[in-house]
Structure 1
Amino acid sequence: MGLFDGVKAALGIKAEADATRAADPEDLFGMSTAYVTMYADLDFESVGEAALCFSGVDSTDFSDTVDEVADLLHAGEEETGTSFAFHSDSHGYEWVVLEDDDEEDLVTSIHFAADTFVERGYGSRLLAAVFGFERPDGDRAYWIYSFRRGAYYPFAPRNGDRDGQLEFKLESVLDGELDVESDKEYWYALWPDRAGGHPWE
């Protein structure tokens, strides 16, 4: 199953039809305390990366918006050391991937990027923000924020399948701290394009 086989429905076309409200980048700040809880309660540390996924528009104004996001992140890179890179996947979706060992910087940078899209009138093009975690034993888990649904949900890949027990554990521990999607129909997997990779790779 490719990365966006389900995402088109979960974060794109279907979620747009079932959107609960407009994209609100302020929700992303909830991840700041979630990083602490993930480590203290579940022994998950940040992988040092997070990513913002969006769908592009073939227009000069949208290209200018992406350039503005890049300029903003570049200014932040000089101040905080948060590096970033843009890339397109094989499905035609765009990613901005951020790398920093400081979780607060990751959250702030993703918020700045998302907020810029919203301010420029492209909030509807935002699909998801993805935050990665890893245990010392190598287990990985992700919190995915759906801009179309205005909620987070957990994704725990394990050997080509999903660890449902871990996902429910993540929900039980973080629900209340994060606005967790109550309709599990929208807990779509974001499989990486390569084995062992992150969803944004």
Structure 2
Amino acid sequence: MGVLNTIRQVLGLGVETDATREADPEDLFGMSTAYLSMEADLGFVPTGEAALCFADVDSTAFREARSDVEAVLEIGQEETGTAASFIEDSHGYSWVVLRDPDFEDLVTSVHFAADTLIEGGFGSRLLAALFSFDRDRTTAYWVYSFRRGAYYPFVPTGGRERDSALEFKLESNLDGELETEADTSYWYPMWPDGDAHPWG
């Protein structure tokens, strides 16, 4: 099975029948408190970056919805200083990458972007939201799967390897604060290119 098909099955277009609960963009606000536990209990600090991954649609309506996202984030940048950029990865998926030292502003901006696409009728195109943390040169991500309506941890270690033990520790520590994915087969590895973030 190719990487693109796996992404579609686990995070995107092929798992409606496998969804355990309906995704709710309000779930994203769970990170507003969970990040405090990441730092206080586990020593992971926010990197100041988060991202929203979605699949484009070649239609006028979608282009208008994407323009609405850009407008919302531009207003947000004026108010909070959260910088936003749009990039496309090597698999053809689009990302809204957000940067802000204030973690709660990041969470709010990710929510605004996701909610704007949902209001435009393109919630089914949302794949995942990622929040990144660092500890002693280890980067860990909390991934929110919109198709599963749940979070899961992802800790890449390079060379398409992951630290499963640390992922289980993260899940165990934050299970009471976040709606976590119980089926670990859906903890999809969003591999970065080299040492970069998954969004490049």
Percent identical residues: 62
| Structure 2 residue 110 is matched with structure 1 residue 110 | yes
Deviation of 1:22 (Å): 3.6
What CA deviation, in whole Å up to 9, does each residue of 1:32-57 have, x standing for no partner?
Answer: 11110000000001111000000111
Q: If the length of structure 1 is used for normalisation, what is the TM-score?
A: 0.94
Which consecutive segments of 4 or more residues in structure 1 shift more than 4 A? 2-5
Q: Gapped runs of 5+ residues in structure 1?
A: none
Equivalent in the alignment of 2:92 = 92
Q: Is the 8 A contact 1:19 1:148 kept in 2?
A: yes
For the aligned residue pairs, the C-alpha RMSD in angstroms reads 1.4
SS at match of 1:132: strand
Q: Is the 8 A contact 1:7 1:189 kept in 2?
A: no
Further displaced range: 18-27 or 60-69: 18-27
Q: If the length of structure 2 is used for normalisation, what is the TM-score?
A: 0.95
Equivalent in the alignment of 2:169 = 169
Mapped partners of 1:177, 1:9: distance in 2: 27
Deviation of 1:4 (Å): 4.7
Mapped partners of 1:22, 1:94: distance in 2: 22
Between the two structures, name the one with larger relative contact order (CA 8 Å, sep ≥ 6).
1
What CA deviation, in whole Å up to 9, does each residue of 1:135-192 have, x standing for no partner?
Answer: 1x20111000000000000001113211011001001100010000001110010001
Equivalent in the alignment of 2:134 = 134
| Structure 2 residue 155 is matched with structure 1 residue 148 | no
Aligned residues: 198
Equivalent in the alignment of 2:81 = 81
Q: Is the 8 A contact 2:13 2:125 kept in 1?
A: no
SS at match of 2:12: helix
Q: Is the 8 A contact 1:3 1:199 kept in 2?
A: no
